[in-house]
């Protein structure tokens, strides 16, 4: 279902808080563009009236590196658009944020850290697809959002996350996405990683929905940028068709 109402969610709230905390103005690339405050796309290409809604058993916890959340191109926001239980925090080295701790300790969740397994220590439990979540618990995928270097730093220096198992995105799952991708960029965006994870817990529809929402974002975002659009112009039709199936 498409929900035309604007949704002010956890990533928007984190954006506002981080912007307030900035000591100097954050100059995003293309700062002259008049952006929609919700989807952060050039207003004339706004996708908000197409935002789909769904129900999911999974949750996402996004840990942002410093000012990553301020970047209009950040796609963690797209996860929160669709998946209600999406939480967002600025990463800190210590377990000092009580809200973050209470989510991790909440008994309904089974936290899983999403990171390449080759970085895990030998004793660390590693999950592969399909992710086998203990009966009665809901998967809470913890994602690091930043550059690869920043993500590695967050993974290594968050002792409070060391107790949780790791899930890697399998190369096969990744390649399914890469086949769809028009660009040669082999790095998956945060929202695409989340789509893979939803697939891994058997939520095929939600996976497809998020992947398509990402494609629409990517195409419309590039409409507002002065370089060749490598996005999929058919994403909007695919999204509408997908929603008709429900
Ligand atoms: Zn918008």
pLDDT digits (tens, 9 = 90+) for 66-116: 889 999 999 999 999 999 999 999 998 887 789 999 999 999 999 999 998
Q: What is the pLDDT of residue 22?
A: 82
Q: Does an H or E element contain 17, and which? A: helix 10-21
Lowest mean pLDDT of 21-25, 76-80, 107-111, 176-180, name the range: 176-180
Contacts of 69 (CB under 8 A, 6+ apart): 11, 14, 15, 18, 76, 88, 90, 145
- CA-CA distances (angstroms) from residue 55 to 52, 81, 182, 210? 10, 12, 29, 12
Cβ-contact 12, 63 below 8 angstroms: no
* Residues flanking ion ligand 1, Cβ below 5 Å: 36, 38-39, 46, 48
φ/ψ region of 30 (left if φ > 0, alpha if ψ in -120 to 50, else beta) reads left
The pTM for the full model equals: 0.91
Sheet-wide strand order for 166-167: 86-90, 59-64, 138-145, 109-114, 166-167, 126-127
Whole-number pLDDT of residue 184:
47
Q: How far is the CA of 217 from the centre of ligand 1 (A)?
A: 10
Q: How far is the centre of ligand 1, averaged over its atoms, from the C-alpha of 12 (Å)? A: 12
Q: What is the pLDDT of residue 125?
A: 85
Ligand 1 centroid to Cα of residue 234, in Å, is 19
Q: What is the mean pLDDT of residues 127-140?
A: 88
What number is the average pLDDT over the span 212-217?
95
Q: What are phi and psi of 166, to 5 degrees?
A: -110, 145
CA of 77 to the centre of ligand 1 (A): 12
Cα–Cα distance measured from residue 154 to residue 92, given in angstroms and rounded to the nearest whole number: 8
For residue 27, pLDDT beyond 80 = no
Q: What's the CA-to-centroid distance between 214 and ligand 1, angstroms?
A: 13
Residue 229: the pLDDT is 85
Encode 223-241 in three state secondary structure: HCCCCCCCCCCCHHHHHHH
The domain ranges of the chain are 10-20+35-244
Q: What is the DSSP letter of 67?
A: T
- Confidence class of residue 218 from pLDDT cuts 50, 70 and 90? very high
**Of 33 and 34, which is predicted with more confidence?**
34
């Amino acid at each position: 279902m498409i929900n035309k109402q604007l949704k002010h969610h956890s990533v928007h709230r984190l954006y506002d808080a981080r912007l307030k905390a900035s000591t100097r103005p954050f100059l995003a690339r293309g700062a002259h563009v008049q952006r929609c405050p919700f989807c952060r796309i050039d207003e004339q290409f706004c996708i908000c009236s197409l935002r789909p809604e769904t129900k999911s058993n999974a949750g996402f916890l996004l840990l942002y590196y410093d000012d990553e959340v301020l970047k209009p191109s950040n796609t963690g926001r797209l996860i929160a658009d669709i998946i209600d239980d999406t939480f967002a925090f600025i990463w800190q080295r210590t377990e000092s944020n009580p809200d973050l701790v209470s989510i991790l300790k909440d008994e309904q969740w089974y936290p899983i850290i999403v990171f390449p397994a080759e970085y895990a220590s030998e004793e660390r439990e590693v999950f592969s697809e399909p992710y086998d979540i203990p009966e009665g618990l809901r998967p809470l995928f913890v994602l690091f959002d930043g550059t690869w270097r920043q993500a590695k730093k967050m993974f290594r220096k968050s002792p409070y996350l060391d107790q949780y198992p790791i899930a890697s995105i399998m190369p096969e799952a990744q390649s399914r996405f890469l086949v769809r991708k028009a660009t040669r960029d082999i790095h998956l965006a945060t929202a695409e990683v989340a789509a893979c994870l939803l697939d891994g817990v058997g939520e095929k529809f939600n996976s497809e929905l998020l992947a398509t929402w990402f494609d629409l974002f990517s195409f419309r975002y590039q409409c507002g940028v002065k370089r060749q659009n490598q996005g999929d112009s058919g994403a909007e039709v695919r999204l509408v068709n997908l929603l008709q199936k429900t």
